[in-house]
Amino acid sequence: MRKFLLVLAAYLVLSGTAGASEAAPAGYVALTFDDGPSGEITEALLDGLNARDAKATFFLCGYRMEQYPSALPRYIAEGHEVGVHSTVHTDLTRLSPAEVHRDMKETAQQIFLTTGVRPTLMRPPGGAWDGTVQAEAAAEGMSLILWSVDPRDWAVTDADTVLQAMAGCAGDGDVILMHDLSESSVEAALRLVDRMQAEGYRFVTVSELAARAETALEPGQVFRRFPPPA
């Protein structure tokens, strides 16, 4: 009898029947962070996300990985996603095709060697892209991920200002651009998670958001948000 009940419970969980009385999520959002890692600031952000069971996507710079390696093992172990940002935050549209290729390849390889994960996402610095950037990203098997919400957290040091810029427009399917470079950005991000989780939202990685939207992340293609399927 006990074995039957265990099997039945497993079936209910897999079929979605168990917990059916729980309210459906109000929506799904992807928090993304550029320009890191940043030592203790990133560590504090990861602590806060972990405590809230919120996932994020981090677009990493090669030189920052060399300066602050301590966070690298945590990204994957704690369920986050990592992607390429560049080696030294260069405007890729100003480089030759060979230079863009080298920049993407070297940063992707650095991420692979330090995390064991080969990145499939990249975000060009400043969101600047052209045909060359697309072609080289496609050659490396990476999609270009931009954003739909930008609170410009890099330009201010006031968490309230950053929070209000996000909270007023972030919704289901949005990709939020942030930077784990300052304490105010970390505070604003975690306060946003608290506010939106209280409203029923869930914070997931970019790839999880795309899968939920039934969107294939094709290499070389550009994505800004992932609206829910009709």
- Going by C-beta distance under 8 Å and a sequence separation of 6 or more, which residues neighbour residue 61? 35, 36, 85, 86, 87, 88, 89, 107
How many residues are there in the chain?
230
**What is the pLDDT, as a whole number, of residue 119?**
97
Question: Would you state the pLDDT for residue 23?
Answer: 78
Specify the pLDDT at position 168.
82
User: pTM score, two decimals?
Assistant: 0.89
For residue 57, CA distances in Å to 11, 34, 39, 80, 120 come to 32, 9, 17, 6, 12
pLDDT of residue 18: 38
191 C-beta neighbours (distance < 10 Å), count: 17
List active site positions: 34, 179
Quote the DSSP letter at residue 150.
-
Distant-in-sequence, close-in-space partners of 52: CB < 8 Å, separation ≥ 6: 190, 193, 194, 197, 203
Distance of CA 228 to the CA centre of its chain: 17
Provide the token pair at 67: 């300066």
CA distance 6 to 3: 5
Q: What pLDDT does 22 receive?
A: 64
Question: Residue 183 gets which letter from DSSP?
Answer: H
Q: What is the pLDDT along the chain (230 residues), one digit of tens a residue?
A: 333 333 333 333 333 333 434 678 999 999 999 999 999 999 999 999 999 999 999 999 999 999 999 899 999 999 999 999 999 999 999 999 999 999 999 999 999 999 999 999 999 999 999 999 999 999 999 999 999 999 999 999 999 999 999 988 999 999 999 999 999 999 999 999 999 999 999 999 999 999 999 999 999 999 999 999 87
